[in-house]
């Protein structure tokens, strides 16, 4: 009983701590964050255009946080559906949508059990989510389930190949052995929440593009990595040459992933 009381006393209760909500609400409005969300939206739209998909689209924003991605799509007239596990952040997202008179369907829920029908979405966006969900395989199945044929899925998550990351304030964390990672994950959930940005669910999964590509292939999805989906039209001739060289050489492509702090990819439903 003493041990139980001690554990309860030391456990960090994210549900009653305002630091978590304030941190993510403020971070979502920074220029860097807004530019990143806009960049993801632009990337998805480029690939939709390549496949002749246009008009008013159904867009699922999974792990919508304080709603920036949802706002970007709703401003363009799309039907947007946002989902998150944090009620306080969802309330902020709703307030922001109301301020712009945007009709966005925000729901409280889990990415392992999405509330939408089979093949109901043209676009599914899941930024920085998979690393926080222990049952990530079910998340992938749910993303694929709700997508229409030729639908586009964007995923960004942790990259275990690169030593640089933003999930934990610890050097070279991506390369830590599993046992050591588990120790810091426990600290982040209990007595040291600041080492993981006060996240309710600290990152517990670390991926490579090649690993996720194999999983999506089993589900009938074609996958494209960050080099495949770059906007080369905005690059100089020299930069386009470098990108083409990396794409055409498997070793250079792998080294490119090692040098990329995060993992970004698109998957298209066949």
pLDDT value, residue 198: 80
Q: Is the pTM of this model over 0.85?
A: yes
Q: What are the residue ranges in the chain where pLDDT is below 70?
A: 1-17
pLDDT value, residue 11: 41
pLDDT value, residue 127: 95
State the CATH number of the domain containing residue 208. 3.40.50.150
Task: Please name the residue that has the structure tokens 């009653």.
Answer: 16
pLDDT value, residue 16: 46
Name the nearest CA neighbour of 147 among 121, 173, 185, 114: 121
Phi, psi of 234 (to 5 degrees): -90, 5
- Domain extent for 104: 2-269
> What is 94-157 written as a DSSP string?
HHHHHHTT---EEEE--TTS-SS-TT-EEEEEEET-GGG-TTHHHHHHHHHHHEEEEEEEEEEE
Cα separation, 84 vs 210, in Å, equals 27
pLDDT value, residue 24: 77
pLDDT value, residue 17: 63
User: How many domains is the chain built from?
Assistant: 1
Taking only the tens place, the pLDDT of each residue in 210-269 is 999 999 999 999 999 999 999 888 889 999 999 999 999 999 999 999 999 999 999 999
Name the nearest CA neighbour of 270 among 56, 119, 164, 75: 119
**CA 177, 174, 29, 111 torsion-angle sign:** negative
pLDDT value, residue 12: 39
For 68, the enclosing helix (H) or strand (E) is helix 68-74
């Amino acid at each position: 009983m003493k041990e139980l009381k001690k554990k309860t006393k030391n456990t960090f209760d994210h549900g009653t701590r305002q630091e978590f909500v304030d941190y993510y609400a403020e971070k979502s409005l920074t220029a860097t964050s807004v530019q990143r969300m806009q960049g993801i939206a632009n990337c998805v739209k480029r690939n939709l255009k390549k496949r002749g998909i246009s008009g008013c689209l159904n867009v699922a924003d999974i792990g919508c946080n304080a709603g920036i991605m949802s706002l970007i799509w709703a401003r363009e007239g799309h039907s947007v559906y946002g989902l998150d596990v944090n009620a306080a952040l969802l309330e902020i997202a709703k307030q922001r949508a109301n301020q712009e008179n945007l009709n966005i369907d925000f729901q409280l829920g889990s990415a392992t059990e999405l509330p939408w029908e089979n093949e109901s979405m043209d676009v599914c966006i899941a930024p920085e989510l998979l690393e926080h969900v222990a049952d990530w395989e079910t998340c992938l199945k749910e993303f694929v389930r709700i997508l229409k044929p030729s639908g586009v899925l964007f995923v960004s998550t942790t990259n275990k190949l690169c030593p640089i990351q933003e999930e934990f304030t610890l050097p070279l964390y991506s390369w830590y052995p599993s046992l050591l990672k588990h120790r810091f994950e426990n600290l982040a959930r209990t007595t040291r929440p600041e080492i993981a940005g006060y996240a309710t669910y600290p990152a517990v999964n670390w991926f490579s593009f090649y690993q996720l590509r194999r999983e999506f292939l089993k589900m009938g999805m074609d996958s494209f990595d960050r080099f495949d989906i770059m906007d080369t039209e905005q690059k100089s001739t020299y930069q386009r040459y470098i990108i083409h060289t990396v794409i055409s050489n498997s070793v250079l492509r792998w080294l490119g992933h090692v040098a990329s702090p995060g993992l970004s990819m698109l998957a298209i439903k066949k």
